[in-house]
Structure 1
């Protein structure tokens, strides 16, 4: 279907334009950092760095999906350089995790994106939470976006942990070297040219914006969509469409989310370049209507409301079974 309409063609001109824009954005951040010097306005530069690193991560994601260059090895090399050398995240870790997600989105036991971490995405995981983890889980919908401020740091940590502890990782030392150089290039000037307190604030803001932007771009895609049982039998098309959610908004949403707003089409055609996704959407919608397969599309704010409501509902499984709402009410009185 997509091949016949030419939608799987590469668009090097588009990615050259986006790559240039990201490079210029990072260059502008560096220039602003140098010119501002010892000033609390540096926190605006830190936020801008967080945004530009996320935009670079979108490009790394597309290269990993073979959307940019002609050959697989060339795309892999580009993705590794962008992810590890520019963003500071292990490409090998992300690729292994993301490939399993694409094969089985929202399938229990196979999709790592619904595995328990700080947040529980399944009732059974929420019910196992204990101590402080249970306190978070019971409120995880409302805490979701505040917790994303720590996600940037978590992504760096998980990538390095994977490279250090996982056997047989291809390009292990290359990625570790690139991440080390990248961290040095980012962190050393900050602590060298800014007062200590301002330097910590700068890194905190940069990591927080990066984490929130990344999480806010990926969370609307599948969270709150149907969960597939481990032993369920479902065809590829239905599996990918039913578990994915698109975000309305046109070109601005595509720019803001790096094409992830067309999540249904991205899961059906992972190697389709970003500029073609809007055209593919029209074809997929018609096809879903013909087959009577639900096609989900909401606004960005509606998707966030759905995610928060879903996480709060799952978090109820972490309630103490001996908690009594009436007793709790009288205790407060």
Structure 2
């Protein structure tokens, strides 16, 4: 499956999205940016190599935990590059995108690229739809009060106070990515399973071997814990503001493409640092409308999209990063109310 489902949405002549799409195309914002991505990929690769070089040079010192924190951020940046590659923002051809995505995802950070691409494609097609978006499927967390009423076992225990446990649970997200990628190998529908598995287990083997060759066992475990936990927090902190706390759709509640993407997404205000830290995903509305748009164009696209939504009377939400977290946590707390037997406000 392609991770760019919106290249063929409801583009019937005269539709709201078709008119917006023409405005964006006429502005040249769908043009590829090979120079930008050459520089970005080169910098991330240099930071990746530099981080592991620093790890070896620091050696058997507790300063290695500072290197672990640095590499957690670098791994997050590699994941963001893999995200852009999957959306065909970097390469036009699918083959080049798949090869690069597997190098960055499977080999680089131990993330099952094929598993993630399939999951992310379904998310883009139906964001925040309770039955169709895997990102709001009940697991450890519940995203709606209906899910809370049906929750059982550990999910019911977590769900009571999930808003307070959300960020602590993100420390497990890095490990979850690894486990999910391995579990997906059992799915016969997964493309190139042998290659996916070889790259994944190759990453794990090299990663653990390097840790144990350079550090004593106790220090190696501490490095692994800090690195993977901070990696999970960083990734979760990037993705949480995008849709959490926004309207959840159910059943046949599927607005037209433009409204389906805009009304379930939230943008985050910020400058160049926010753009770099979040990989452009702070322009979540524009990204969902035009997934193959190169991320450096999203800021300019926002001006066009926001003005167009105002003309249509479509609600367009942009908040600060802190407010986005507050809204997401408040929504999680409200979703768990049936388990607690009350709906006490979080804030």
- What is the TM-score with the length of structure 2 in the denominator? 0.90
Name the residue aligned to 1:91. 113
Name the residue aligned to 1:191. 212
Name the residue aligned to 1:293. 314
CA-based RMSD of the aligned residues comes to 1.3
Inter-partner Cα distance in structure 2 for 1:96 and 1:28: 32
How many angstroms does 1:233 deviate by? 3.9
1:112 aligns with 2:166: no
Inter-partner Cα distance in structure 2 for 1:162 and 1:233: 29
Inter-partner Cα distance in structure 2 for 1:308 and 1:281: 26
Inter-partner Cα distance in structure 1 for 2:184 and 2:154: 26
Inter-partner Cα distance in structure 2 for 1:207 and 1:249: 27
Whether the 8 Å contact between 2:65 and 2:226 is mirrored in structure 1 is yes
Aligned partner (choices 35, 55, 67) of residue 77 of structure 2: 55
Aligned partner (choices 54, 66, 88) of residue 66 of structure 1: 88
Aligned partner (choices 142, 156, 161) of residue 178 of structure 2: 156
Aligned partner (choices 97, 101, 121) of residue 75 of structure 1: 97
Runs of 4+ in 1 over 4 A off after TM superposition: none
How many angstroms does 1:211 deviate by? 0.5
Name the residue aligned to 2:191. 170
Name the residue aligned to 1:312. 333
How many angstroms does 1:132 deviate by? 4.0
**Structure 1, residues 30-81: CA drift from partner, whole Å, max 9, x if none?**
1211111111111111111111111000000000000001222211221122
Aligned partner (choices 268, 289, 312) of residue 289 of structure 2: 268
Inter-partner Cα distance in structure 1 for 2:92 and 2:117: 19
Aligned partner (choices 284, 305, 327) of residue 305 of structure 2: 284
5+ residue gaps, structure 2: 1-22
Whether the 8 Å contact between 1:56 and 1:87 is mirrored in structure 2 is yes
Secondary structure in structure 2 of the residue aligned to 1:2: helix
Inter-partner Cα distance in structure 1 for 2:189 and 2:154: 35
Whether the 8 Å contact between 1:128 and 1:318 is mirrored in structure 2 is no
Inter-partner Cα distance in structure 2 for 1:19 and 1:54: 13
Whether the 8 Å contact between 1:245 and 1:296 is mirrored in structure 2 is yes
Inter-partner Cα distance in structure 2 for 1:110 and 1:135: 25
How many angstroms does 1:214 deviate by? 0.6
Whether the 8 Å contact between 1:224 and 1:306 is mirrored in structure 2 is yes
How many angstroms does 1:187 deviate by? 1.3
Secondary structure in structure 1 of the residue aligned to 2:336: helix
How many angstroms does 1:135 deviate by? 2.5
Name the residue aligned to 2:227. 206
Name the residue aligned to 1:143. 165
Inter-partner Cα distance in structure 2 for 1:242 and 1:139: 27
How many angstroms does 1:102 deviate by? 0.4
Whether the 8 Å contact between 1:85 and 1:182 is mirrored in structure 2 is yes
How many angstroms does 1:131 deviate by? 4.3
Name the residue aligned to 1:330. none
Aligned partner (choices 18, 23, 40) of residue 45 of structure 2: 23
Whether the 8 Å contact between 2:107 and 2:203 is mirrored in structure 1 is yes
5+ residue gaps, structure 1: 326-333
Whether the 8 Å contact between 2:139 and 2:155 is mirrored in structure 1 is no
Name the residue aligned to 2:7. none
Aligned partner (choices 238, 245, 250) of residue 217 of structure 1: 238
Aligned length: 321
Whether the 8 Å contact between 1:57 and 1:82 is mirrored in structure 2 is yes
